[in-house]
Copies of this chain bind each other. A is one copy, B any other.
């Protein structure tokens, strides 16, 4: 018998489709999901610095110059940006009905390391830690621009997840509008807070303790398959400290988060043979500070199931792996 489950934080319902249930092993990737691109063509490899716009930020060996080798991590503007730091933020109207505005914003690429073939799942630990520190540095820097309302940090790994470049990288987009999707999280968090006097994410951390969906827990972070996971092996990584924005993470916590993320991504890599995935770091709109009712977190979505007409039309996801089983499967995979 199928079951419907509701995410307490977003109020989205999902269908656990027992009649279509699959074993976790059936989701193993069978082909190379990474885009084919040799090191010689790669604009993100060391030595090809001139192929990207000038760097905005880097971790590099003392004494080396910007836009030259010697870096461990580089942040550069996207060469084909979705939004650009030009124009103005006035909303305009066409025929008094159609609203539009300049595509003002920022679109950055975080080149996560010089090694073309490594991904976070098999990079050295310290390197992953630096990625999460760089994210915070860029968040804080972008936030200074008063035109930006939302800063989204995300990663597309593998062709199915929307990337065309194999070299490990993630992206940061700052947008001049707060979209409905983010407002929805905020509004639901607010409603829960007004009803219960507590953050619904803090409450989730408490309630998740006893049900077998936790994959990994450290002093300051919890990684679990949510009760109403939208797709097989969806994982949320949530800080135990209540913070509404990624800019609030401390230096030391970026290290711990790097550890947790590397462990989780390595479990996916080993358990499902390098699946494509996306992750997103959700924060409150960037000028809304220290909200009691929103809690930043990371959503990791392996792209192992196809989104089809029903999901697009209803927003109800059909998940063919019971979250408790997905969690058990991932928990049992040992990582050094």
Contact = CB atoms under 8 A, between A and B. Distances in A.
A67 B232 CA distance: 36
A301 interface: yes
A284 interface: no
Size category of the A interface is 35 or more
Interface stretch (A42-50, A121-129, A274-282, A287-295): A274-282
A99 B2 contact: no
B314 A150 contact: yes
A68 to B, nearest CB: 26
A205 to B, nearest CB: 11
Given A2-B83, A4-B102, A207 B97 contact: yes
A40 interface: no
Given A177-B13, A179-B315, A312-B301, A203 B84 contact: no
Interface string A86-121: 110000001101111111010000000000000000
Interface in A117-159: 150, 152, 154-156
B309 A1 contact: no
Contacts of A18: 103
Given A97-B8, A98-B8, A309-B161, A84 B182 contact: no
A175 interface: yes
Contacts of A308: 154, 156, 161-163, 278
Contacts of A217: none
Q: Which interface residue of A87, A99, A161, A312 has the most chain B CB atoms within 10 A? A: A312
A166 to B, nearest CB: 15
Interface string A159-192: 0111100000001010111011110100000000
* Identical chains bound together, number: 2
A17 interface: yes
A314 B102 contact: no
B103 A314 contact: no
A314 B152 contact: yes
A313 B1 contact: no
A16 interface: yes
B3 A180 contact: no
B15 A83 contact: yes
12 contacts: A3-B103, A6-B100, A15-B83, A17-B81, A17-B82, A95-B210, A150-B314, A152-B313, A152-B314, A154-B310, A179-B314, A179-B315
By Cβ-Cβ distance, the 6 closest A-B pairs, closest first, are A2-B103, A162-B308, A181-B315, A280-B313, A154-B309, A278-B309
